[in-house]
Each structure stands twice: as structure tokens, then as C-alpha cells.
Amino acid sequence: MVPGAAAAPLLAQAGCGARFAASLARCKSLTAAGRSGGSLGPESRPRQQTNKKSHIRQKPQKQICKPVLEYFDERYGQELGELWNKVREVLLLPSSWQYAVLVNKFSQCVTFEQYLQSQGYSNFLPDVLPFARRSLRCYIGNIQCRLPRLRHHAERLKQYYLLNAASLLPVLALDVQDGECVLDMCAAPGGKSVAIMQYATPGHLHCNEYDSLRYKRLKQALESFVPEELRNIISVTDQDGRYIGPQQPQMYDKILVDSPCSNDRSWLFCSDDLLATMRITQRPNLPVLQRQLLRSALEALRPGGTVVYSTCTLSQAENDDVVASVLNSYDNIQAVDLTGLARSLADYFTFAEGVQHGQLVVPERGKPWGPMYSSKLWKLH
């Protein structure tokens, strides 16, 4: 019997991820066949051509963008030294990437979590979170396979959200408390906003996204994971984040600035070399925007409040340099030490050394999570 197949009927009866069970069983079957050293049968082997009977086309393999790789080799080879070789190995092999399963506490699906545990998944957060915040549950496993993403249904909530586990680091650093007024300034596609609602119940959660298409994805994500009776504490806007601070000074207790960035994983597989070259040329402009967003967030922050600035890039210019520039121009902003948080996650994430104003999760074999940079800033007065 295919591993996991026996649990599929149980999940189907409970309405908790039968499609997930079937896909996971197939992933395990393929993984087991590869590890056994035997060849995969014709029904399991990826096909390069269209099946004329079924009209199903195999998804093409991602192709590495050479201009971006050459640029990264030069830039990150200097910034990360020998660590870049380990990071490079994971980034260039999408088959080694993994997805964590953030469970939706509002769906009340115990059977689904039991199924995850039976398949070797484990919640990595209990030793990190205070007891009162353990409603945030995220499962990771050893299956190197992309799990199915659930479709949006207006009449029912999704059971889980797939994400890079390191993307929870900014949410953990933000440490939202019940009743606080919170801003997620660059919120799409919505994973961190969803995680904030799993972590605590803010008095008000303002989710903002300037890009019109991503704004629609954000709204749909919140509708898919938050019950209707709690949506009245959430507002969703499409403002330019650079102007939120001047328009709403000292309005928020906690602010997350998950800033637009280079996004190294996607850049490496850009299908258009000309577009990739243009992006490389324009890359120095990103820190300008990032500093503007961070300054706006600090203006919107109440005295005593905290901002978490985060990106999904390895770039020092977009990470520590942005934070350093902002710190140098304020006398009432102080960086918060995240060493303790990093230490509690060391069994699951690899953190780069030499980062001055935050923590940088870097992917390596066995710990494929990241890149994810997080810096926490405290407004003294």
C-alpha cells in the first residue's frame, strides 16, 4: 500500500484535506522509489511530452537564469564568503525546497493535525512560543515535495497555508499582544497577516498592499482563513505605504514592514534574461524605497511600540544597510537584540554570522528555509 493512503478515507470523511492526503501519498511513493535505488516505473516517471489522451502537460523544470547567478556569485560570494556555497547549493535545486504547513486554528480540524503527525510532520513552535501563544502551529516534515494549495471557497475556511517556515520569524519577532493596534504595511500575499491572526487577537489589524493585483490576493487570503465574526477587526487598504506614516502619525503599537525586495529565489529562475539584466541594473533603487517605507512605519508608530523590518533576500544593501541608515538618522529608535529568538530556533534554521542589526536565515542542506532577514526596532519616545 502507498504510505499514507490508509488515512485518506478518514480525512475525506472529516472534510480535512483528502486532496492533500492523496498528493502526499504520491510524493512519498516517488520519494521512496528514488531512495530505494530502483528506477521509477513509466507511470511515475516525469513525462517530457504531452499525453495525447489525457491532454495533461508535465510542468517544465525551472531554468536557472545565468546573468542572475553570475551576479549573485560575485555579490554574495563577497558578502557571505564560504557560506554562499552552501546557500547556493539549495537555491539552485528547487527539488530540495520544502514547504511548512501553517494550520488554521479557526478551522477546528483536529483530524488533519493528527494526520500530519502520523506522516512524520511535527510542530516546531512549542519550544519557541510562550504558552499563551501556542495557537500558532506550523508543521514541518522531510518530504521534498510541493504540497497542494487549497482553493478559495467563500463558504468554508481553509485548513492550512503553505509557506517558507522562515517567514514566521518576523511574526515571532513582532510578538503581537491581544488588543494591540497593528499595521502590516506590505501585506500581500497575506501569509504573515494570517499568522498574526493565529498568534493573537489584535484590537485592530490594518493590512495594506499598494499593488492592485496583490491587494486582491490579500483580501482573498484573509477571507479564506479568518472567520466572518473576526473580520470586523481587520481593515484592508491599497495605500502607498510611504505615506501611511505622515497620514496616520503615532497610530500603531506594532508594525510589520515586510518590504518589497529582490526575492532571491524567484530572481534565480527568471525566464527572461533581458528582464533579469534590467532588474540587476535597477536593484540599487530598492534600498531607497525600503528606507522610505521603514521611515513611514516609524512615523506611524506610537512611542514604546516596535517595528519589524523584513525581506526575503540575502542582500546586505537591502537588509542591514537599510536599518543602519535609518538608525543613524533617529535619536529615539533602538535596535532590539533578537539573539535569544534565533537561539531558540537554531535546531530548525541556519543564521548567518556578522549581521549587526537583526537576524538572517539562510538555507542550507537539511535546513532549506530562507532567505529571511528580520530586524526589530523600538521607538523610545
Active site residue 312: yes
Q: Spell out a b/e string for 97-125, using b for 16 or more CB atoms within 10 Å of the CB, else e.
A: bbbbbbbbebbebebbbebbeebebebbb
User: What is the CA angle 368-58-24, rounded to 5?
Assistant: 50
Are the C-beta atoms of 317 and 349 separated by less than 8 Å? no
Q: Please spell the DSSP secondary structure of 19-58, one letter per residue.
A: HHHHHHHHHHHHHHHHHTTPPPPTTTSPPSS-BTTTTBPP
Q: Which one is catalytic: 16, 65, 270, 312? A: 312
Q: What whole-number distance in Å separates Cα of residue 89 and Cα of residue 76?
A: 13
- The set of cell numbers assigned to 159 is 485548513
With both helix axes pointing from N to C terminus, report the angle between 320-327 and 286-300 in degrees, rounded to the nearest 10: 50
Give the separation between CA 122 and CA 135, rounded to whole angstroms.
15
- Distance from chain centroid for Cα 365: 18
SS3 324: helix
**Cα torsion for 138, 139, 144, 145, to the nearest 10°?**
-70
Residue environment code for 23-40, b if the CB has 16+ CB neighbours within 10 A, otherwise e: bbbebbbbeeeeeeeeee
CB atoms within 10 A of CB 239: 15
| Cell numbers found for residue 153 | 471557497
- Distance, in Å, from the CA atom of 242 to the CA atom of 288, rounded to the nearest integer, reads 11
Listed in sequence order, the DSSP H helices in the chain are 8-14, 18-35, 66-80, 83-91, 110-118, 169-174, 191-199, 212-225, 244-247, 264-267, 273-282, 286-300, 320-327, 339-344
Which of the residues are catalytic? 312
